Structures are given as structure tokens and as C-alpha cells.
Amino acid sequence: MQRLSGKVALVTGGVRGIGRGIAELFAAEGAAVTAVDVLDPAGSAGSTGGVGQADADGTAAGSLEFGRLDVTDEAGWARTVAAVEERHGGLDILVNNAGVGSYEAIHELAQDEWNRVLGVNQTGVFLGMRAAIPALRRSGGGSVINISSIYGAAAVPGSLAYQATKGAVLSMTRNAAITYAGENIRANAVLPGWIRTPMTEAQTREFNDTVIASTPMGRGADPRDIAYGCVYLASDESSYVTGTDLVIDGGFLAR
Ligand code: NAP
């Protein structure tokens, strides 16, 4: 029995990096997954399982489809959620994963950059939850997973806008958890440590080495390590878990 059999999931920033890892593992666990991104899915598109196929035990296999959505686009969110409901008959899981890095300290941070980062990392999460909650209600409940960061809980020098947004994601997740708890809609945050993705590959070697050196396990991890935690939060195994922070960071925050 797959852990997400029969569930319908929407994952943002799902063409590559952590979002891709989540989308692929969700599909492998039986979910019908729509992965949306600003990136053109052409060339990145693939599928895990197959629509309508079945496993040896008769369980319906998962599926993975790609679509376009800029998470700052309010109208785009409405279209995306409607399309998922129409195609799959409902929505059970939203993963707000799309995010952008930002590295400037307060004194060097331009307001345009501040606005850009808040737009994607914070407003995008708000718009996603707002668009999805009516659909989750129609499904009789569901699971929202918001990808924060170790930098939502701990400060390091610089990266003001990024840390501000990732802290806000924790607050917004708790707010959603207690606001909708009575409607069987759960909301939890995931705090990854250093994960090997295009985002971290684009960072300076010095930045990456500093984070990994501060990680008690002495290494980074792969998108799959985050995806396994998300499968738990998306599945009925976590039916009593809401408003929590799942830290997956090799011990970074335990120091
Ligand atoms: P990534 O490699 O850059 O992948 C993120 C994906 O989201 C990219 O395809 C990106 O497209 C897309 N995206 C950016 N802006 C978007 C928008 N407005 N609407 C829709 N999609 C958009 O990043 P990642 O490392 O996988 O990170 C995923 C999430 O985990 C982010 O929220 C990040 O803050 C968080 N996180 C990552 C790490 C880590 O070590 N990697 C650690 C803690 C938290 P573009 O490439 O065109 O921007």
C-alpha cells in the first residue's frame, strides 16, 4: 500500500530542486501530482508511475504532470487550483515550495530586492494557501506543507530578506494550522538545512562551505531527504500533526 494512494497534490517550484524531489516521491507513493513552476517544464518533464496504471497489489499508481505558475500571480493560482480539481476531482495536499535565495545584509539590501523576495517566498505562500483552502474544504480536509528553512529559525549574518520570509512562513503556517484545525485542514512547516539543488549550486563555495561546516553531521543532503519528511506530513500517518516545524538539517539547529 502506497502512503499517498488516492491523494491529489499540488507542488510549487516543482520542476527542479527540492520541489522536483517532493513531486517525484509523492507520485511514487501513489499521489496524482501537479508540479508547477515558472520554469518551462519542457525538457524537465517526466513522469513517475503513470496515470491510470496499477501496481501489482492493485493499488492505483501515482502520476506526475507539470504546469506553469508564478506563485506571485493571484489569478494564476485560481486557474491552477481549478484545473487540478477539474482534472483530478479534488485537492488534498498543497506544498508551497517555490522560493528564491537572497544574500544581502540590511545595509546593502535594495527595496526592489526586498519586494522581490517577499513576493515569492511570503506572498506566494499566502496566495497559495488562500487559493487552496476552499478546495481542501471541498475535499473534506487536507494537508498544507510550507517549505521554510533553518534560516527561518536561526539568524546568520546577511540574507535579511530571505530570513525574514522564512520566519514569516513559520508564523503563517501556525496561523493556518489553528485557523483551520477544526476543518481537518492541517498545516506544517519543513525546515531544510543545506540541500544540494540548483539554488545552492549557484551560491558561492565559501557560503556553502560555511553552512556545511556548521552542520553537526558535516554534510549536506539531497532533495529526497526533504521529500521523505513531506510524505509523512502529506499522508494520513500525520493525521494528528498540525502547526509543527519539521526540521531536516543534519543537526544544524540543535547546536
Ligand atoms: P531551486 O533549486 O532554485 O528550485 C526552486 C524552483 O522554484 C525553481 O525551479 C525556481 O525557478 C522556482 N521558482 C522560483 N520563483 C518562482 C515563482 N515565483 N513561482 C514558481 N516557481 C518559482 O531551490 P531549492 O533549493 O530546491 O529550494 C526549494 C525551497 O526550499 C525554497 O523555498 C527554498 O528557500 C527552500 N530551502 C532550500 C534549501 C537548500 O539548501 N536548497 C534550504 C532551506 C530551504 P527559477 O530557478 O527560475 O528561480
In a domain, 185, yes or no: yes
Does ligand 1 come within 6 angstroms of the Cβ of 99? yes
- 200: in domain: yes
| Position 242 pLDDT exceeds 90 | yes
Measured CA to CA in angstroms, residue 119 lies from 64, 124, 128, 140, 162 at distances of 27, 6, 12, 30, 11
Residue 40: per-residue pLDDT: 87
Supply the mean pLDDT for the chain: 94
**Sole residue written with cell 553552512:** 211
At 53 the pLDDT is 38
| Shortest-distance Cα residue to atom 31 of ligand 1 | 99
Task: Tell me, yes or no, whether 72 lies in a domain.
Answer: yes
The pLDDT of residue 55 is above 60: no
CATH number at residue 243: 3.40.50.720
162 is catalytic: yes
For the beta sheet containing 142-147, the strands, ordered from the edge strand earlier in sequence to the opposite edge, are 63-68, 32-37, 8-12, 93-96, 142-147, 185-192, 245-248
User: Within a domain: residue 158?
Assistant: yes
pLDDT tens for each residue of 100-116: 999 999 999 999 999 99
Q: Look up the domain containing 175 and give its range.
A: 8-254
> Does 3 map to a domain?
no
* Active-site entry in 103, 162, 228, 232: 162
In a domain, 163, yes or no: yes
> What is the 3 state secondary structure string of 37-74?
ECCCCCCCCCCCCCCCCECCCCCECCEEEEEECCCCCH
pTM: 0.95
Among 46-55, 193-202, 205-214, which is the least confidently predicted range? 46-55
Q: Which phi and psi angles does 66 have, rounded to 5°?
A: -115, 150
Q: Is residue 115 part of a domain?
A: yes
The answer to the question of residue 1 being in a domain is no
With vertex at residue 23, the alpha carbon angle to CA 193 and CA 91, rounded to the nearest 5 degrees, is 115
* Percent of the chain clearing pLDDT 90 (strictly above): 91
Q: How many domains does the chain have?
A: 1
